[in-house]
Amino acid sequence: MPQSQSPAADFPDSHFKIGWRIAGWSLLTVFFLLVFTVTKLPQERIRGLIVSQINQVLGPKGISIVPAKSGFSLGLSGVGYALEDTQVLLPGDLPPAHVDLVRLTPSLLPMMIGRFGGAILVREGEGLIDFSGFLKDPAFGGRFSLEDFNPG
């Protein structure tokens, strides 16, 4: 007695469906590879490196920063770095400024097409500075907003 087969068994999967399946598994693999790589990074050393690089850039102007807490974030919008409860040491006899939060978020998509872009958010109490922009030689574009900001 012959066995009956389902009609779906007679037709193999289409090339389109196979392509999407391979692409999906590949993207999932890359996503998990990135997540596990970021979670295993020596974050203390990287935090120290980033803060020292910022201080190296600000040093010639006599400015330095001392964050109480800093860390990475990885989300759907990309990679970000945040400095919390930061003292900004100013040159001369000026008193240090205090900033609750500084968040730096580079834009990954513009980097793929040769632009450097990102966003910077600075918050102190109720005040807020928000900047986002891009740079592609020689063009520059951005958005800047300032709301009740008083770091002193």
Which residues, in sequence order, are CB contacts of 40 under 8 Å at separation 6+?
A: none
Split at pLDDT 50, 70, 90, the class of 133 is: confident
Higher pLDDT, 95 or 1: 95
| 104: nearest Cα among 116, 88, 119 | 119
Cis omega (within 30 of 0) for bond into 110: no
Predicted structure pTM score: 0.61
For 87-104, write each residue's pLDDT tens digit.
989 888 888 888 899 888
- In the Cβ-directed half-sphere of 57, how many Cα atoms lie within 13 Å? 6
Q: Identify the pLDDT of residue 7.
A: 56
Whether residue 23 has pLDDT greater than 90: yes
